[in-house]
A and B are shown apart, each in its own frame.
Chain A
């Protein structure tokens, strides 16, 4: 790289780009002060901190555009023990988050078609299709995705990532480090499963160090673990503020504001961001600001969001005085925070990354929902039957029946897909949600 190139990269990634994003943030903050930004007056304006979150995420992707020039890049699954990579200085990219960005930007179907034209079945996960389509076409709403030097996948969210990352490894010819987390069918993981994960984490170090070109600094790993725990705890605290009436922050906001805890876990800026968010949420509670004005119904959301209809769902529910106050999905990024022990990094990573809700049985998810129904005084549950996410969706039919029969909480199954809008029947969903809200009002 010539001196001019270095200067150009520095100017774009450190000066002009961030400055432009800062101006954009000011604009967003100004708009948030000026009005809710929603079509419906029933919804509160976004948190002021949301503009800062958007800036953080945009900055991350901006840095990503140039990351190949000065850092090692890892593509990582959302549930992977990323502390290891951050301690080794990797720049991390989350194809799932990129998929979600494409979904929210409503370009996921176009990109999926690229993958489908290359032979990938429409029955495969739409995140995978979106990202493979982006890879094959080079198109992305984030400007440019850095090429990976390493693929790092963990099976604790699904087996799909195993199949997907094998495709990436084959296509890109880069090493794949897999952390395999045996599924927990019963109450606790057997000790040999914990040991298996711990051994894999330790065994992965030489491969990861080789790609990183440096040795793992245990002190840095512990510090990353500490920051991860702190960010996850703050995130949990924020979500738990919704246990009072009215709820200060909607789950729809949580879906977009969870990005830093997913993709920037282990960084000081993430901790600062959530500390600021908690302060603002507390300010809302003190001022009596609610996510939905005249909150009448409090709902629990199960499964991934429908990224391309987030706004519509929020407005549809808000108009009826229904607030999404809790979700098993956003909860998953905070509920394991206390398992992280920075002083026992490998042992605690093994346990923490074995226990995500998606690596546990359908009965455990039902128990989690029941606990959340109590904690958040939930009146009804919306279960998104997500065609693209079998581990999250299988079991929902029984969960819905048990909630209605045994917990007397109405529950509605919505058939859709988190990224593929071709699976979303607008009118049908609107009718079903309206009928469901009527049920709650009886």
Chain B
């Protein structure tokens, strides 16, 4: 068995510093959906901030109540403790009431040294959503011109979009080939999540290097589907490996829900909007629960997943509202599931591991 094939991946902070030293701007980007291509066209490196986990979140307590999720609380605590000093701007996409509140508190009260640029993602599914989002992206473009003090040519923007689409296609191939890559589940997610912060060329190089490796021989494993916002703390993935299981598909907001299709239009903003809105079903974009359920069942059928693990962050309304309907629908489709609730700052939970172990034994 060969499961040690992941090249070294630098830390987010080191990547950001290196980009800075080369004279580029760095954007700290909050979850979930945003136009990477637009930022890159300005020479801005997007570094995504999903928490981060396992930090002292008390710095956020003077602004946010304890019933706000740990992704949002940690982000603010990280910012307040200087963790985002390297960032030249903050992008706050709108995904839920908590992220909305954070954007508002940042703009109105915290006033970080970096400009804060909110972005509203439409919740409707109709044609008017694409028109609105294209306009919203144009508005973001205007703000970026102010921050970067330059504007890319339209041809350069279009090229940036095409380059991102190519990188997204590579990402998709990594997901398709996940079981034949010489990687543990833990390392696979370190690989694909490198898309959250690596410069485009570095990610493409890394992905291509992995995709040319010969298929690895796999040990027997219990195939599962992982759902949730973000697989943090990532100990959950180590536990999956250690318990003889593999994540063969996911519905994670940071991963599988961001496998964007190519846009259709030649007009850059319309194309970016089409791509963002064409992603798999996501409650934060208002996708019907039935669409999400069908998507989960489809993923399980194509990958052979025998069960679904919902790994949800406490207080996360978009996920928690869907959970009973999804579990019920999956049960009707013959797919057992388990729900594990976490706080990003919780130490690894023995109880959660035991429950996961029992679940895996049941479906093995």
A residues with CB within 8 A of B: 118-121, 123-125, 128, 155, 158-160, 162-164, 166-167, 169-171, 176, 178, 180, 182-183, 185-186, 190, 192-193, 195-196, 199-200, 203, 361-364, 366, 385, 387, 390-391, 393-398, 402, 415
**Given A124-B321, A167-B289, also A361-B98 (CB < 8 A):** no
- With a CB–CB cut-off of 8 A, which chain B residues contact A200? 124, 126, 128
The CA-CA distance from A183 to B135 in the complex, in Å, is: 15
**Given A163-B283, A199-B131, A366-B108, also A121-B103 (CB < 8 A):** no
- Say yes or no: A390 contacts B98, CB within 8 Å: yes
- With a CB–CB cut-off of 8 A, which chain A residues contact B258? none
- Say yes or no: B105 contacts A164, CB within 8 Å: no
**Given A178-B123, A362-B101, A394-B101, also A120-B108 (CB < 8 A):** no
- Say yes or no: B65 contacts A164, CB within 8 Å: no
Nearest chain A CB to B316 CB, angstrom units: 8
Nearest chain A CB to B89 CB, angstrom units: 15
- With a CB–CB cut-off of 8 A, which chain A residues contact B64? 394, 397
Nearest chain B CB to A262 CB, angstrom units: 20
Contact of B63 among A171, A385, A398 (CB under 8 A): A398
Nearest chain B CB to A296 CB, angstrom units: 31
- With a CB–CB cut-off of 8 A, which chain A residues contact B100? 159, 183, 391, 394
- With a CB–CB cut-off of 8 A, which chain B residues contact A362? 101, 104-105, 108-109
- With a CB–CB cut-off of 8 A, which chain A residues contact B136? 182, 192
- Say yes or no: A167 contacts B65, CB within 8 Å: no
- With a CB–CB cut-off of 8 A, which chain B residues contact A162? 123, 286
Within 8 A of A (CB), among B114-149: 118, 120, 122-124, 126-129, 131-132, 135-136, 139
The CA-CA distance from A387 to B289 in the complex, in Å, is: 25
- Say yes or no: B132 contacts A183, CB within 8 Å: no
Contact of B97 among A159, A199, A366 (CB under 8 A): A159
- Identify the closest chain B residue to A388 (Cβ): B67
- With a CB–CB cut-off of 8 A, which chain B residues contact A366? 108
- Say yes or no: B97 contacts A398, CB within 8 Å: no
Give the 9 A-B CB pairs with smallest separation, nearest first: A394-B101, A363-B108, A119-B324, A192-B135, A163-B321, A196-B132, A398-B109, A170-B289, A361-B104
- Identify the closest chain A residue to B67 (Cβ): A387
- Say yes or no: B101 contacts A390, CB within 8 Å: yes
- Say yes or no: A190 contacts B139, CB within 8 Å: yes
- With a CB–CB cut-off of 8 A, which chain A residues contact B328? 119
- Identify the closest chain B residue to A360 (Cβ): B104
The CA-CA distance from A163 to B108 in the complex, in Å, is: 27
Contact of B105 among A124, A178, A203, A394 (CB under 8 A): A394
The CA-CA distance from A178 to B131 in the complex, in Å, is: 17
- Say yes or no: B128 contacts A199, CB within 8 Å: yes
**Given A160-B317, A162-B286, A192-B139, also A121-B323 (CB < 8 A):** yes
Contact of A170 among B120, B135, B288, B317 (CB under 8 A): B288
- Say yes or no: B118 contacts A185, CB within 8 Å: yes
The CA-CA distance from A171 to B103 in the complex, in Å, is: 33
**Given A185-B104, A390-B97, A395-B101, also A192-B109 (CB < 8 A):** no
**Given A162-B286, A394-B102, A395-B104, also A363-B128 (CB < 8 A):** no
- Identify the closest chain B residue to A178 (Cβ): B124
Contact of B325 among A121, A125, A167, A363 (CB under 8 A): A167
Between A and B, 22 residue pairs with Cβ closer than 8 Å are: A121-B341, A123-B317, A159-B317, A160-B321, A166-B286, A180-B123, A180-B286, A182-B132, A196-B122, A200-B124, A200-B128, A203-B126, A361-B108, A362-B101, A363-B107, A387-B67, A390-B98, A393-B65, A394-B64, A394-B68, A394-B105, A395-B101
The CA-CA distance from A167 to B120 in the complex, in Å, is: 23
| Chain B facing A: main interface SS | helix
Nearest chain B CB to A61 CB, angstrom units: 26
**Given A170-B290, A397-B63, A397-B64, also A121-B320 (CB < 8 A):** yes
Nearest chain A CB to B160 CB, angstrom units: 23
- Say yes or no: B139 contacts A119, CB within 8 Å: no
- Say yes or no: A391 contacts B132, CB within 8 Å: no
The CA-CA distance from A192 to B126 in the complex, in Å, is: 16
- With a CB–CB cut-off of 8 A, which chain B residues contact A398? 63, 105, 108-109
- With a CB–CB cut-off of 8 A, which chain B residues contact A395? 101, 104-105, 108-109
- Say yes or no: A196 contacts B63, CB within 8 Å: no
- With a CB–CB cut-off of 8 A, which chain A residues contact B107? 185-186, 361, 363
Nearest chain B CB to A320 CB, angstrom units: 27
Nearest chain B CB to A20 CB, angstrom units: 38
- Identify the closest chain A residue to B289 (Cβ): A170
- Identify the closest chain A residue to B96 (Cβ): A159
The CA-CA distance from A162 to B318 in the complex, in Å, is: 9
Within 8 A of A (CB), among B222-265: none
- Say yes or no: B288 contacts A193, CB within 8 Å: no
- With a CB–CB cut-off of 8 A, which chain A residues contact B306? none
Nearest chain B CB to A420 CB, angstrom units: 12
Interface check B33, CB cutoff 8 A: no
Nearest chain A CB to B231 CB, angstrom units: 20
The CA-CA distance from A164 to B322 in the complex, in Å, is: 9
Within 8 A of A (CB), among B282-325: 283-284, 286, 288-290, 314-315, 317-318, 320-325
- Say yes or no: A163 contacts B317, CB within 8 Å: yes
- Identify the closest chain A residue to B117 (Cβ): A185
Interface check B178, CB cutoff 8 A: no
Interface check B271, CB cutoff 8 A: no
Nearest chain B CB to A302 CB, angstrom units: 14
Residue with the highest number of chain A CB atoms closer than 10 Å, among B104, B286, B327: B104
The CA-CA distance from A192 to B135 in the complex, in Å, is: 7
- Identify the closest chain A residue to B92 (Cβ): A185
- Say yes or no: B98 contacts A394, CB within 8 Å: yes
- With a CB–CB cut-off of 8 A, which chain B residues contact A121? 320, 323, 341
- With a CB–CB cut-off of 8 A, which chain B residues contact A185? 103-104, 107, 118
- Say yes or no: B283 contacts A170, CB within 8 Å: no
The CA-CA distance from A163 to B104 in the complex, in Å, is: 21
Interface check B195, CB cutoff 8 A: no
